[in-house]
Amino acid sequence: MRRSFSRFVIPIAVVALAVSSCSSGDDDDAAEPTLPGATEAPSGTSDDAIAADDTAADTTTGDTEATTADTAEEVQTGESILDTVIANDVIRCGVRDDLPGFGSVDASGENVGFDIDFCRVFAAAVLGDATKVEFVPVETEARFTALQSGEIDVLSRNTTWTASRDGTEGVTFLHPTFYDGQQMMVAADSGFTSIDDMDGTVVCVAAGTTTEGNVASEFARRGLTVEVQSFESVDLIQEAFLADRCDGWSSDGSQLASLRSAYPADAGGPEALVIFDEVFSKEPLTPAVVDGDSRWAQALEWAIYATIAAEEFELTSANVQDGLTSTNPSVVTLLGGPNADGTVTDPGLGLPADFALQVVSQVGNYGEIFDANLTPIGIERGLNALWNAETPGLQYAPPYR
């Protein structure tokens, strides 16, 4: 209704101005108030042209401003997955159950791993209870469909953030929880010491992943030929590798380290495999949510940031309660304590004031999560060190203020 009214009124107003202009030549040089978004017409432009331009401006700029405002209002007030999760009192988290260190099931039937713990981080932040998670195993090729269909609320499953996925899969990627890169693994007795030694070989990879194209591109860059064979699951790749159908096994370095750590003892165990130091791609592994729900995305992103900020402030699951009486106001603010004026910071993220306190006390800071899951399988911090570490990494949280 507002748009129709403005289209009707503005042309009449323009005509009235034109008539006024014709009847009073003395007003030509008089200063007129400038409307938002208005531009000065070039000298010599006819009144009809001015009217046409103003009408066009109203049907584009005016409509765009109204649409933007309506959209913003809808995003701010419309129902979000955040509301649904709070109402259901549980987060459905899409995970792996076959990758030690990141996502697997232990002997007691419990889901464990780095990505699993970030599901718990989300539950602690949003619901105040890290145990309120339903772990939903999703296959590689079905992970984005599971998000789009609403089968899961968030994907936390060693997934690389790329431009094409960002643009075509209908998902929003959050802050990378693990910065990785693709590498190559071979049998220790293969005689290969570098990718340069592997001309004419067969390299096996997981289907539906970024690793397929990366292998072909890297071999072409080095002037080498390669046959890339894709398999639907890690188990099938391992079977092919054990049957000597693969000269090399390529994936994210973290995944190779995980698979190497669990390599069958009757096949020689971890010592039977070697991972080359060469890294030939960027693989930021990132949780993801469905596109178009900024409230949900922001809430989970800040849950991740809380783990990083806590490590920076040297807050751990053991001492985080003491942070509420810290002499550092930034620490108190992060944990939901009172500011100097007695107020509690509310940045409008839809999270409880003490969400960071719950995350760290129930799950741990970023370093604790890393050390509990990835250090035991031989993965070093590397790029995933804090930005201000002695050997700086890429993990960095925006200020919470």
- Beta strands (DSSP E) in 207-342 are 226-231, 248-252, 273-275, 283-285, 288-290
CA trace torsion 42, 46, 52, 57 (10° rounding): 20
Both tokens of 208, joined, read: 């539906």
Fold designation for 182-281? D-Maltodextrin-Binding Protein; domain 2 (3.40.190)
The enclosing H or E element of 36 equals none
- Relative to beta strand 288-290, strand 171-173 is antiparallel
d(CA 34, CA 38): 6
| Count of residues making up the chain | 401
| Predicted local confidence at residue 302, as pLDDT | 98
- Domains 83-177+285-384 and 182-281 agree in fold: yes
Query: Helix or strand or coil: residue 282?
Result: coil
Residue 35 has pLDDT above 90, yes or no: no
Mean of pLDDT values over 233-262: 95
Domain ranges of the chain: 2-21+40-77, 83-177+285-384, 182-281
Both tokens of 177, joined, read: 């929880």
pLDDT tens figures, 114-124:
999 999 999 99
Residue 21 has pLDDT above 60, yes or no: no
Using only C-alpha atoms, the chain has a radius of gyration, in whole angstroms, of: 28
Residue 144 has pLDDT above 50, yes or no: yes
| Predicted local confidence at residue 208, as pLDDT | 83
Mean of pLDDT values over 231-253: 95
Q: Band of the pLDDT at 154, cuts 50, 70, 90?
A: very high
| Predicted local confidence at residue 66, as pLDDT | 41
Tell me if 332 sits within 8 A of 277, measured CB to CB.
no
Tell me if 242 sits within 8 A of 268, measured CB to CB.
no
pLDDT tens figures, 37-88:
333 333 344 344 333 334 333 433 444 344 333 433 434 456 899 999 999 9
What rounded mean pLDDT belongs to the chain?
85
Mean of pLDDT values over 22-34: 37
In sequence order, the 6+-apart residues with CB closer than 8 A to the CB of 237 are: 204, 205, 206, 231, 246, 249
| Predicted local confidence at residue 362, as pLDDT | 98
User: Which CATH architecture group holds 83-177+285-384?
Assistant: 3-Layer(aba) Sandwich (3.40)
pTM to 2 decimal places: 0.79
